[in-house]
Structure formats: C-alpha cells, structure tokens
Amino acid sequence: MMEIATGILRNIEKSDIKDGTLEIPRNVVIIGKGAFSNQQKLTHIIIPEGVTQINVAAFANCRCLKTVVMPESLLGIGYEAFDMCHNLETAIIPD
C-alpha cells in the first residue's frame, strides 16, 4: 500500500501498480527520495497537477518505465531521479 505523509509520497508497493500504470493521488505534493525505485512492473506514469518536486532517485532503476508525463506545477527534479531507466522513451515536460 502507498505510503503518503504530509503530502509526500514516500513508498509504493508492487500491488499499487495496475497494468503497468500507477495513479498518484491528488493530495501528493512531493514524490519522495526513492519512492518508486526498483519497481519493475511500472511502465507508464502520469504525475498529477499539484506535484511540485520529484526527489533524488525517485524512479531509479525502473527499468521497464517507458513514459512519464509531468505536470505544469513541477518546479524541480532531483539528481538521478530517472537513473537506470534504460527503456524510457517519452518524457513530457511542460514549458
């Protein structure tokens, strides 16, 4: 089960991912350090409006991740947030 504390998504479980996709709740403001790391079932993620920060190594080693859609509210992406995501084909980043 997803672990969210004071707007920070800290951790997810494999069971949170349905058909390769994870729906991040709207009350999330920050994706915490390593929150998605090593989630091999994750292929697509749409980060909802309201998320302002993706922290260090948040998606590190998500080797099956292919698509990431980021919101206009995003202000920062931490170091190595997508490290080792070798199959990442599309990253939609707002202007």
Using the predicted structure, report yes or no on whether residue 71 has a pLDDT greater than 90. Answer: yes
Closest-CA residue to 66 (of 51, 85, 47, 84): 85
Using the predicted structure, report yes or no on whether residue 52 has a pLDDT greater than 90. Answer: yes
Using the predicted structure, report yes or no on whether residue 61 has a pLDDT greater than 90. Answer: yes
Using the predicted structure, report yes or no on whether residue 1 has a pLDDT greater than 90. Answer: no
Rounded CA separation 73/91 (Å): 15
Cβ–Cβ < 8 Å for 81, 54: yes
- The fraction of the chain above a pLDDT of 70, given in percent, is 100
Residue 11 binned pLDDT confidence (cut-offs 50, 70, 90):
very high
pLDDT of residue 77: 97
